[in-house]
């Protein structure tokens, strides 16, 4: 409760700056219009106009809020015009890609920790894979997969996977290596098998690292799914909404799609945070 | 046949002959152990004492198959350290308690038992027994962070006692604890040793601790790490803490101190 006031203050400041910026950015267009129609505009008229244009450079907060309200609450979720529907399309690809990426990252991390050869050879490739701009290879992945008859959810999920396996590899390699030499020696004195060492020591030790990685992976996954929707001119999904919005100059639509994406990401990351708290608490680690 | 009988009665549990170990480091070779010869009999309480860097830990780790000697041999129960380790012949207590933070005290003690495949009822019984042995009954459900340092170290000793190893290797287990706690734990350790009849190898750098606990004191010195004196203690099995003020005790302590000083005369 103590935090409510500071948070509200910050929000209020941001909203105020946003409104001011909307005036500043949209004023030119309003003035041009007035000039063409050869009419005078008072200052207050000008301000009101900048906050209610149909295709503003920067939509005002209430315009975005209204659009969000209309496209989420007032539309049936099955409707093509419902933002909830589009968010779900993107989220399903995100979740599939996240699951695949986590599995891949986990498997690579285990290999790197247990096999010297992989330790030496895999990591450079993993890092190199992330230096390639995703925007450059996303279309290729989509096109190649389409050519072999894979379309819809999977190509998008592949791009999500491509982005999300990376934090999981990095985090899990660190996590699985977290046990001290002493603890590993201890396992050796008990003549524990590799499997026992993994399940009873390395895996539990890696949990805090795993959750930190999963949060980043989830956000990266969402970005991947949205990027995956751009090059195909996909008909559904938040990426499609962004693309369509930019074709037709529908800035309000773009901004509401962006906010929806942010909300989805925030929700998923918070969900992982919750699972993290419960898990670590049950493990006695927090 | 009859001539061998006393041999069997006082069986050699650990035997090191001409043991050498050199670590290759970036600053050149470090001769951690040189020409180490030692016999430890069944039921002995052997302390290893010497300044830091004299190879006490390394020697213990060689016995435990955590380090490989460069030359020479060590036999544990008549077999190589590796075979002894695989037969789970010893429990090892490290300098830090090394309890798993995500397991309760009971869960920590159960860990080696799970790994070694003890039945669940046996596990539960052993956990109870050893917790009583180290005076921690009632702490089974607590997490390590809820215990003091001394209690954590006792729990880690309990963990090393829980399975059927008749050798206990302890590397400065009480090094990080204050004097009073240490005295108390030393007393308990002696009682525990008397009750369990285990062979104990105990690393320390405290002279009173070594003299108070041991039947045999191995004095070591550094660069290269070697044994400079082995002292058989004439002190009785029954040792109240006050024994530390008797002339016998002080005499052994004096001999240990002399041994340590002689080791230093080299450099
Ligand atoms: N893994 C290692 N690699 C290189 N040098 C080591 C290693 N372990 C110990 N040493 C060196 O061997 C010597 C003996 O170390 P140690 O057995 O730990 O001594 P102590 O336990 O008596 O203090 C020291 O000089 C130490 O620096
Ligand atoms: Mg040491």
Which residues on chain B are in Cβ contact (under 8 Å) with A189?
Answer: 64, 66, 85, 90-92
Higher per-residue confidence, A3 vs B266: A3
Domain that residue A32 falls in? 4-58
Question: Which pLDDT tens digit goes with each residue over A143-184?
Answer: 888 888 888 888 889 999 999 999 999 999 999 999 999 999
Whether A46 and A98 map to the same domain: the answer is no
Question: Which pLDDT tens digit goes with each residue over B59-90?
Answer: 999 999 999 999 999 999 999 999 999 999 99
Question: Which pLDDT tens digit goes with each residue over B111-122?
Answer: 999 999 999 999
Q: Could you tell me if A181 lies within 8 Å of chain B, comparing CB atoms?
A: no
Q: Is the pLDDT of residue A34 over 90?
A: no
Q: Could you tell me if A44 lies within 8 Å of chain B, comparing CB atoms?
A: no
Which ligand sits closest to the CA of B67?
Answer: 1
Whether A143 and A24 map to the same domain: the answer is no
Residue with tokens 């991947």: A224
Q: Give a yes or no: residue A233 inside a domain.
A: yes
Whether A151 and A265 map to the same domain: the answer is yes
CA distance A167 to chain B (A): 24
B216: three-class secondary structure by DSSP: strand
Domain spans in chain B, listed from the N-terminal domain onward: 9-89+203-267
CA distance B90 to chain A (A): 8
Interval between CA B223 and ligand 2 midpoint (Å)? 14
Q: Give a yes or no: residue A75 inside a domain.
A: no
Q: Could you tell me if A180 lies within 8 Å of chain B, comparing CB atoms?
A: yes
Average pLDDT, chain A: 90
Q: How many CB atoms lie within 10 A of CB A194?
A: 10
Q: What is the pLDDT of residue B6?
A: 47
Question: What is the domain count for chain A?
Answer: 2
CA distance A185 to chain B (A): 7
Scanning chain B, the segments in alpha helix (DSSP H) are: 5-9, 56-63, 81-86, 105-115, 120-133, 149-161, 179-196, 207-213, 247-264
Q: Give a yes or no: residue A238 inside a domain.
A: yes
Whether A44 and A107 map to the same domain: the answer is no
Q: Which of A183, A186, A191 sits opposite B88 (nearest CB)?
A: A191
pLDDT tens per residue across all 267 residues of chain B: 444 444 444 688 999 999 999 999 999 999 999 999 999 999 999 999 999 889 999 999 999 999 999 999 999 999 999 999 999 999 999 988 999 999 999 999 999 999 999 999 999 999 999 998 888 999 999 999 999 988 999 999 999 989 888 899 999 988 878 888 888 889 888 988 998 889 999 999 899 999 999 999 999 998 889 999 999 988 888 888 889 899 999 999 999 998 888 876 554
Q: What is the pLDDT of residue B7?
A: 46
Q: Which two tokens stand for residue A152?
A: 């819809």
Average pLDDT (A75-103) is: 91
Whether A45 and A141 map to the same domain: the answer is no
Q: Give a yes or no: residue A44 inside a domain.
A: yes
Q: What is the pLDDT of residue B73?
A: 93
How far is residue A272 CA from its own chain's centroid?
13
Q: Which of A190, A200, A284 sits opposite B101 (nearest CB)?
A: A284
Whether A108 and A191 map to the same domain: the answer is yes
Whether A123 and A215 map to the same domain: the answer is yes
Whether A98 and A31 map to the same domain: the answer is no
Average pLDDT, chain B: 89
Question: Which pLDDT tens digit goes with each residue over B212-246?
Answer: 999 999 999 988 899 999 999 888 888 888 898 99
Q: What is the pLDDT of residue B181?
A: 80
Whether A102 and A221 map to the same domain: the answer is yes
**Do A284 and B104 make contact, defined as CB atoms within 8 angstroms?**
yes
Scanning chain A, the segments in alpha helix (DSSP H) are: 4-36, 43-50, 61-72, 83-114, 116-131, 134-147, 153-176, 181-189, 194-197, 203-229, 238-247, 251-282
Beta-bridge mates of residue A197: none
Q: Is the pLDDT of residue A62 over 90?
A: yes
Rg (CA), chain B: 19
| Residue B113 to residues A190, A196, B93, Cα–Cα distance (Å) | 9, 12, 16
Q: What is the pLDDT of residue B2?
A: 44
Residue A225 to residue A230: CA distance in whole angstroms: 9
Q: Give a yes or no: residue A66 inside a domain.
A: no
Q: How confident is the model at residue A233 (pLDDT cuts 50, 70, 90)?
A: low
Whether A187 and A266 map to the same domain: the answer is yes
Question: Which pLDDT tens digit goes with each residue over A177-203?
Answer: 999 999 999 999 999 999 999 999 999
B215: three-class secondary structure by DSSP: coil
Evaluate whether B63 touches B36 at the Cβ level (below 8 Å): no
Evaluate whether B167 touches B13 at the Cβ level (below 8 Å): yes
Q: What is the pLDDT of residue B249?
A: 92
Please classify residue B263 by burial: count the beta carbons closer than 10 Å to its beta carbon, then call 0-12 exposed, 13-18 middle and 19+ buried.
buried
Residues with CB under 6 A from ligand 1: B 23, 25, 30, 32, 50, 52-58, 225
Q: Give a yes or no: residue A73 inside a domain.
A: no
pTM of the model: 0.85
Residue B210 to residue B218: CA distance in whole angstroms: 9
Measured CA angle at A270 (ends A251, A229), to 5 deg = 40
Q: How confident is the model at residue A141 (pLDDT cuts 50, 70, 90)?
A: confident
Q: Which of A143, A142, A117, A108 is nearest to A217 (CA)?
A: A108
A189: three-class secondary structure by DSSP: helix
The interface pTM score, or ipTM, of the predicted complex is: 0.88
Q: Which fold has domain B9-89+203-267?
A: Rossmann fold (3.40.50)
Three-class DSSP labels, A117-165: HHHHHHHHHHHHHHHCCHHHHHHHHHHHHHHCCCCCHHHHHHHHHHHHH
Give the whole-number percent of chain A exceeding pLDDT 70.
98
Residue with tokens 């009632």: B138
Whether A96 and A208 map to the same domain: the answer is yes
Q: Which of A191, A201, A207 sits opposite B85 (nearest CB)?
A: A191
Report the residue among B29, B32, B70, B92 best suited for mutation to probe ligand 1: largest number of ligand atoms under 8 A from its CB: B32
Q: Which residues make up the environment of ion ligand 2, defined by Cβ < 5 Å?
A: B 57
**Do A189 and B103 make contact, defined as CB atoms within 8 angstroms?**
no
Whether A36 and A142 map to the same domain: the answer is no
Q: Give a yes or no: residue A121 inside a domain.
A: yes
């Amino acid at each position: 409760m103590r935090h409510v006031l500071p948070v509200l203050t910050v929000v209020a400041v941001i909203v105020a700056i946003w409104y001011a910026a909307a005036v500043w950015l949209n004023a030119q267009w309003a003035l041009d219009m007035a000039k063409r129609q050869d009419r005078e505009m008072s200052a207050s008229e000008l301000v009101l106009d900048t906050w209610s244009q149909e295709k503003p450079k920067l939509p005002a907060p209430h315009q975005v809020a209204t659009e969000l309200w209309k496209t989420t609450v007032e539309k049936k979720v099955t409707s093509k015009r419902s933002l909830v529907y589009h968010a779900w399309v993107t989220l399903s690809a995100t979740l599939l890609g996240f699951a695949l990426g986590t599995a891949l990252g986990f498997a690579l991390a285990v290999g790197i920790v247990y096999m010297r050869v992989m330790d030496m050879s895999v990591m450079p490739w993993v890092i190199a894979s992330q230096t390639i701009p995703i925007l450059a290879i996303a279309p290729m992945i989509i096109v190649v997969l389409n050519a072999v008859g894979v379309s819809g959810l999977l190509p998008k999920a592949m791009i999500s996977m491509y982005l999300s396996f990376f934090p999981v590899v990095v985090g899990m390699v660190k996590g699985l290596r977290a046990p001290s030499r002493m603890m590993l020696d201890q396992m050796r004195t008990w003549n524990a098998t590799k499997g026992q060492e993994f399940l009873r020591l390395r895996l539990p030790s890696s949990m805090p690292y795993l959750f930190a990685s999963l949060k980043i992976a989830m956000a990266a996954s969402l970005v991947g799914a949205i990027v995956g929707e751009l090059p195909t001119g996909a008909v559904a999904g938040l990426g499609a909404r962004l693309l369509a919005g930019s074709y037709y100059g529908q800035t309000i639509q773009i901004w509401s799609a962006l906010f929806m994406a942010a909300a989805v990401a925030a929700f998923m990351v918070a969900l992982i945070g919750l699972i993290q708290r419960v898990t670590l608490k049950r493990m006695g680690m927090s | 046949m009859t001539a061998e009988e006393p041999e069997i009665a006082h069986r050699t549990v650990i035997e090191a002959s001409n043991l050498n170990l050199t670590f290759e480091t970036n600053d050149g070779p470090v001769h951690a152990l040189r020409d180490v010869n030692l016999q430890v009999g069944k039921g002995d309480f052997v302390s290893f004492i010497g300044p830091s860097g004299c190879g006490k830990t390394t020697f213990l780790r060689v016995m435990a198959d955590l380090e490989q000697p460069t030359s020479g041999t060590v036999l544990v129960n008549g077999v190589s350290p590796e075979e002894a380790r695989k037969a789970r012949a010893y429990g090892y207590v490290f300098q830090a308690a090394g309890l798993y933070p995500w397991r309760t005290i009971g869960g920590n003690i159960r860990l080696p038992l799970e790994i070694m495949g003890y039945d669940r009822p046996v596990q539960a019984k052993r956990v109870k027994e050893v917790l009583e042995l180290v005076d921690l009954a009632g702490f089974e459900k607590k997490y390590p962070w809820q215990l003091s340092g001394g209690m954590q170290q006792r729990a880690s000793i309990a963990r090393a006692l829980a399975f059927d190893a008749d050798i206990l290797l302890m590397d400065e287990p009480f090094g990080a604890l204050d004097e009073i706690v240490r005295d108390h734990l030393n007393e308990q350790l002696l009682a525990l040793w008397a009750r369990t009849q285990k062979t104990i190898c105990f690393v320390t750098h405290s002279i009173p601790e070594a003299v108070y606990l041991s039947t045999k004191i191995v004095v070591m010195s550094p660069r290269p790490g070697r044994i400079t004196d082995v002292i058989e203690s004439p002190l009785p099995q029954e040792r109240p803490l006050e024994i530390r003020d008797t002339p016998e005790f002080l005499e052994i302590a004096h001999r240990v101190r002399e041994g340590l000083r002689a080791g230093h005369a080299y450099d």
